[in-house]
Amino acid sequence: MPEFRQNLVTGEWVILAQERAKRPHDHGAERSRCPFCPGNEERTPDPVLVVDGDAVLGCDWAIRVVPNKFPALTPEGTPTEGHVGPYSTMTGVGAHDVVVESPVHDDGLATYAVEHLARVLGVWAERHNQLFRDPRFKYVQILKNHGQGSGASLGHPHSQIIAVPFVPAQVDRELIRAEEYHRSRGTCMLCDLIEHEMADGNRIVYSNDAFIAVTPFASKMPFEMWILPMAHSRSFGQLDQGSALLLADALRAIANGLRRGWGDPPFNLVVHTSAPADGPAACASYHWRIDIVPRLVSYGGFEMGTGVFINAAIPEDAARYLRALVSADAC
Amino acid sequence: MPEFRQNLVTGEWVILAQERAKRPHDHGAERSRCPFCPGNEERTPDPVLVVDGDAVLGCDWAIRVVPNKFPALTPEGTPTEGHVGPYSTMTGVGAHDVVVESPVHDDGLATYAVEHLARVLGVWAERHNQLFRDPRFKYVQILKNHGQGSGASLGHPHSQIIAVPFVPAQVDRELIRAEEYHRSRGTCMLCDLIEHEMADGNRIVYSNDAFIAVTPFASKMPFEMWILPMAHSRSFGQLDQGSALLLADALRAIANGLRRGWGDPPFNLVVHTSAPADGPAACASYHWRIDIVPRLVSYGGFEMGTGVFINAAIPEDAARYLRALVSADAC
């Protein structure tokens, strides 16, 4: 049974999940061994959501959402706090979905048809909203680890959706900063940021009718990008079909730019969202975004000790390079 | 010229330091190329501190502290804030020392004589105190990145001391929690923690007359350890010669335990300290410590998005395993 434990010194929670140690690690291309490939469906738990396949995919499903077989958290029970000496604990209640994004083993963000990727994004939004409706869950993290070195253990294209029974302190700080900004200026922080970035232009990597991708002004990691909806939107769960197609277009262009620049680099995709309007992570002033973080460099003890990252890639230079890579792909 | 930039969304500062991209990366054993080996002293800037060598080392120096040739921060000038649209910046003023710990290229924590390692620790404390006396610097981070994958770029044994012109938010949160704990209970948080760990025993890895090494109750990473002075001490700068010998003993035992378990694994050593009593990071209730974090696994998008780490190694199991490795070495 997984357990939350709180770090007395920092206040941060960790998840201790022994089961995770047993998960298979396989970045190879051998379909017969892959638990996410068609024909091996019995090797995953029963799906919680399936999108039907079609003749093009040659499989009766296009997307499957299954509970993680080696979960970080368990969906049974009620989160219960405990104490051990000076320490605080909580039972490891939560949800841990795996989204098998495609039946095709070597497919991915760079190669999906835009319409297929839009369906994946729609599934993320649907599960995000379903999980936020469970009163036990206070935050939902959607993420994708791609490639060795990203934290991914399997090569078959998949993403993860993890619901936790509290608002993580790091998320809470963002929500509070967004609220404070809105209270003091009367505007949305990220709407202002987008306006500034569009006027400045130096950090724009890609844009279409609904989304803009920039290298953040204070990038922690080289070639890190933020993808932002240009129209104010509080929660990733508000993504509609039209926006999903445009977000898919942006993600596909960026994934191809990364491939063009670095082969097939490991990266993380991280959705930052706030809860539906009545939830504890709700924040009217929040503006959701997606971070794309290529894992090109490591970090060391300075970052661990201070939380301050040292980045040798100037965001304006990184954007210029990425812009060329991404637009080369568009040709 | 390096620059601090603040992330508008999180409030975190980053250091942008283009010069860092030019630093050499070499984990090989070729002495002629190594800028830290005897004979190549002219390849580093003039030292700010030197400990004389002796006949045993066969070199006229035993330890050299030099300004980093590819610094993350520059010691010239006064930190000056700036604004770019909605963003905040600060000139990259600070100090970035490299401590060349030994003239011997393949020496290290596991192989130093305890007396030599105690001298290295004494140098850390001396520079820590010197840098904190500069009124521009508000926090001093001492760290050691060991091995490929730890963030280290060179194999020759060295550590780094970085002074920054503000208290990093992550450090500030620890100091505030320690103060609040002390205010509400009248005791030091880590003194209480040590008392609990000694009574419990399940997470102890090593101890001697002055230091205890434990796996933290809420370990973020497998086989992470904290080394704590058993007597209350606010600042690493308070380390005296006797304590330095005992800390050296503990570090050496742990480094040998890691070697025994994993060959020569990459790890980070991170000192957590509070400033001298009159500085802005001073906190009477703080209790300094050293974190040792073996870099055995990666992290992914969940950790990035939430700050909550998923750890498959139960700290009590990790301690049992480490204890056997460390005590095997003591035999």
Residue B277 pLDDT class (50, 70, 90 cuts)? confident
* Gap between the Cα atoms of A24 and A37, Å rounded: 14
Select from A9, A72, A313 the Cβ nearest to the Cβ of B177: A9
Average pLDDT over residues B92-99: 97
Q: Is the CB of B301 less than 8 angstroms away from the CB of A270? A: yes
Per CB-CB distance under 8 Å, the chain B contacts of A71 are none
As a whole number, the mean pLDDT across chain A is 94
**pLDDT at residue B329, rounded to an integer:** 57
Q: Is the CB of A9 less than 8 angstroms away from the CB of B190? A: yes
* Nearest C-alpha in B relative to A162: B302
Per CB-CB distance under 8 Å, the chain B contacts of A16 are 219, 311-312, 314-315
pLDDT digits (tens, 9 = 90+) for A245-282: 999 999 999 999 999 999 999 999 999 999 888 788 88
pLDDT digits (tens, 9 = 90+) for A110-162: 999 999 999 999 999 999 999 999 999 999 999 999 999 899 989 999 999 99
* Gap between the Cα atoms of A13 and A29, Å rounded: 36
* Nearest C-alpha in A relative to B318: A18
**pLDDT at residue A263, rounded to an integer:** 95
* Gap between the Cα atoms of B270 and B162, Å rounded: 12
Average pLDDT over residues B75-89: 96
Catalytic residue among A116, A128, A156, A158: A158
Asked which of B7-16, B21-30, B317-326 is least confident by mean pLDDT, the reply is B21-30
Interface test with B, best of A74, A214, A296, A306 (most B CBs within 10 A): A306
* Gap between the Cα atoms of A61 and A43, Å rounded: 16
Tokens found for residue A243: 């926006």
pLDDT digits (tens, 9 = 90+) for B3-17: 999 999 999 999 999
Whether B243 has a pLDDT exceeding 90, the answer reads yes
Interface test with B, best of A14, A124, A166, A283 (most B CBs within 10 A): A14
SS3 B283: coil
Q: Is the CB of A301 less than 8 angstroms away from the CB of B160? A: yes
Select from B7, B306, B313 the Cβ nearest to the Cβ of A218: B7
Cβ neighbours of residue B49 under 8 Å, at least 6 residues apart? B63, B64, B65, B123, B126, B127
Instruction: Give this complex's ipTM.
Output: 0.96
| Contact in structure between B42 and B62 (CB atoms under 8 Å) | no
* Gap between the Cα atoms of A90 and B74, Å rounded: 45
Residue A331 pLDDT class (50, 70, 90 cuts)? very low
Which uninterrupted H or E stretch holds A139?
strand A139-146
**pLDDT at residue A72, rounded to an integer:** 93
**pLDDT at residue B167, rounded to an integer:** 95
Instruction: Read off φ and ψ for residue A58, nearest 5 degrees.
Output: 65, 35
Average pLDDT over residues B297-307: 96
**pLDDT at residue A329, rounded to an integer:** 57
- Which class is A3-330 in CATH? alpha beta
Sequence ranges of the domains in chain B: 3-330
pLDDT digits (tens, 9 = 90+) for A3-14: 999 999 999 999
Per CB-CB distance under 8 Å, the chain A contacts of B6 are 218
Tokens found for residue B327: 């005590």
**pLDDT at residue B29, rounded to an integer:** 66
Whether A235 has a pLDDT exceeding 80, the answer reads yes
CA atoms within 13 A on the CB side of A116: 23
Residue A29 pLDDT class (50, 70, 90 cuts)? low
Query: Which active-site residues of B does the annotation give?
Result: 158
Cβ neighbours of residue A55 under 8 Å, at least 6 residues apart? none
Whether A330 has a pLDDT exceeding 70, the answer reads no
Select from B164, B170, B300 the Cβ nearest to the Cβ of A150: B300
pLDDT digits (tens, 9 = 90+) for A43-102: 999 999 999 998 777 799 999 999 999 999 999 999 999 999 999 999 999 999 999 999
Q: Is the CB of B270 less than 8 angstroms away from the CB of A220? A: no
